[in-house]
Amino acid sequence: MLESNHFFVEFLRLAKLFWCSNRKLKIRGTILFLAVLTMGQMVMAVLLTQWSAGLFNALEQHSMNGLVRQVGILAILLVADMILTGSHLVVKRNLMIYWRDWMTEYVFSRWMNAGRHFLISHLPGEHDNPDGRIAEDCRVATESAVTLGHSLFYSILVLISFTEVLWSLSGVVTFDLGFVQIPIYGHLIWIAVIYSALASCFGWLVSRPLTKATNIRQSAEAHFRSSLLEAHENSQAIALIHAEACERHQFRELFRKIRLVWDMQTKVWRNILMFSTGYADLSIAFPILISAPRYILGKISLGTLMQSAQAFQHMSSALSWPVNTAGAIAEWRASVERILSLLQVLDNVDNELARPDHWIQVKSSDRPVLAFQNLSIATYDGQVLVQDINMEIGKGEHVLITGNTFAGAKLFHAIAGIRPWGSGVIELPGKSRLFFMPPRPHLPTGTLRNAICYPSSRRVFSQERIEQALRFSGLEHLIDQLERKDNWVHTLAREEQQRLGMVRLLLNRPQWIFMQEAFDSLDFHEEERMLGLICEQIPDATLLTISHMPNGASFYSRRLVL
């Protein structure tokens, strides 16, 4: 958890980026309009207290004309207040969605950038469940910030306005000590300050544990959601080995942690609610009780008594802003801290990558070769996986990578620039596109055509080319389903998914192909057919393959043993 001073500095730094973004004129105009409407609401609150004084004075004087006049004034005030409130809601929600839009874009653009989303999974720090931080915490952080900021600004305005009102209504109260009389000016103000200060101190002590409890709960909820999602994505594997009991046990354990944190939060909320209820009940009667003696003595009218009570309530409510918003502040701070911790890890990645002497150097050259110079690949904590690789692979060569296939996968990551740990140099062939085929291609939810063309636009490849690639890959039965929308990861078998990886390869026709067990679910004959198809359709392509199956050894002219 960030220290309070450091937390607010980091939050203000993040908020400044929003304030100075490319939509700054629209943002600042919206904030200014919101401030004007808030001032209007404050003026309306003052006018309503004045109306209350007029109403009770008319009642005390038994004046029917005065009562009718107050009814007319109330109608005008009600219409104005309704317009102000409706306009204020629209403008405030616009500001919320502007800020959430910007922050969500800012966070996921930094996360989903040049493999950062992959790299941080190997780094220490608070960055678990980035999906929840981006989807939920960005929403809470921005919406609550606007709500809290508005309520604080309104409280300050109310404090300024009703301090003047209370000062004029308080008059002078003489404190008689017998031997000396001490005049006290604005006694209602001092009572309100002391009353609110004591309430704020007690409220802060009661609500202090809520921030920590809320942060822990959000993490526990995120872990539970992540476990459910993982089980859903691997439902076939779980069903085949009948592992449902194990999954249920894991769900129970994760939910048990939610229950523990829930109980912790419940105790804190109970204390806050008990205090808030007592404080709210006392706030109704207390201002009337302290002004009642002056009314009984005939020094103020009934209208002045009620106006004083309402002004006291407004002022004490403004002074008690920290108490009244303790729960919302705790939830807001917990969400902001989760966002800041994710951004901090991303900053750490950027800072580390800015020190090239600590990482594998990946550079392009004009030569049509892939070269490794004194290349060593390590884990984040420094454990060396493979070292001193010195090799040049020319255009059109077929290389089979054997030995430590785990290290082979890390070699592919290093070539792609998403695994920087280690030393040495990787020289990439200039002006050539690298095409990587993992064991299972990513198939985004949507139409099958979009999944095949991913990450290119569906308009890049013609219908004829897609149908031809599907037939070559043994997927002609999917031609009629190109416009069907589905979650293809769960709909298609692993073999079909790997064949779709082949479809992408045939459509893109790259010159440098890196295959990591891309056909391990296919049988002997189909694997050979796929490798032969690559040689036939893209004869000049360079091929590097990681495979446990030696079926296609005849296709490779060289081996790289790790």
Confidence band for 90, pLDDT divided at 50, 70 and 90: very high
Say whether both 340 and 439 belong to one domain: no
Q: What is the mean pLDDT of the chain?
A: 82
Say whether both 74 and 199 belong to one domain: yes
Domain boundary (337, 353, 369) is at 353
DSSP label at 379? Answer: -
Which CATH number is 320's domain given? 1.20.1560.10
* Structure tokens given for 532: 């032969």
DSSP conformation letters of 180-232: -EEEEETHHHHHHHHHHHHHHHHHHHHHTTHHHHHHHHHHHHHHHHHHHHHHH
Domain boundary (333, 353, 373) is at 353
Taking the C-alpha atoms of residue 116 and residue 114, their distance in angstroms, rounded to an integer, is 6
How many structural domains is the chain composed of? 2
Say whether both 208 and 344 belong to one domain: yes
Domain boundary (298, 321, 353) is at 353
Say whether both 369 and 401 belong to one domain: yes
Q: Which residue has the tokens 């809320």?
A: 214
Specify the higher pLDDT residue, 432 or 454.
454
14-60 pLDDT, tens per residue?
Answer: 989 998 888 889 999 999 999 999 998 888 877 887 787 788 777 77
Residue-level pLDDT at 445: 84
Percentage of the chain exceeding pLDDT 70: 91
Say whether both 121 and 241 belong to one domain: yes
Taking the C-alpha atoms of residue 535 and residue 527, their distance in angstroms, rounded to an integer, is 13
Specify the higher pLDDT residue, 26 or 270.
26
* Residue 96, domain extent: 4-353
Mean pLDDT, range 124-145, rounded to an integer: 82
DSSP label at 362? Answer: E
Say whether both 69 and 217 belong to one domain: yes
Say whether both 284 and 318 belong to one domain: yes
Whether residue 158 contacts residue 317, with contact meaning beta carbons closer than 8 Å, is answered with yes
- Total-model pTM: 0.69
- Of residues 97, 110, 194, 189, the one with CA closest to residue 143: 97
Say whether both 48 and 73 belong to one domain: yes
Taking the C-alpha atoms of residue 129 and residue 42, their distance in angstroms, rounded to an integer, is 42
Say whether both 206 and 338 belong to one domain: yes
Whether residue 442 contacts residue 519, with contact meaning beta carbons closer than 8 Å, is answered with no
Q: Which residue has the tokens 């009940």?
A: 281
Which CATH number is 519's domain given? 3.40.50.300
Specify the higher pLDDT residue, 304 or 3.
304
92-112 pLDDT, tens per residue?
Answer: 999 999 999 999 999 888 888
Residue-level pLDDT at 549: 64
Say whether both 499 and 442 belong to one domain: yes
Say whether both 505 and 419 belong to one domain: yes
Q: Which secondary-structure segment (H or E) carries 513? A: strand 512-516
Confidence band for 465, pLDDT divided at 50, 70 and 90: very high
Say whether both 294 and 405 belong to one domain: no
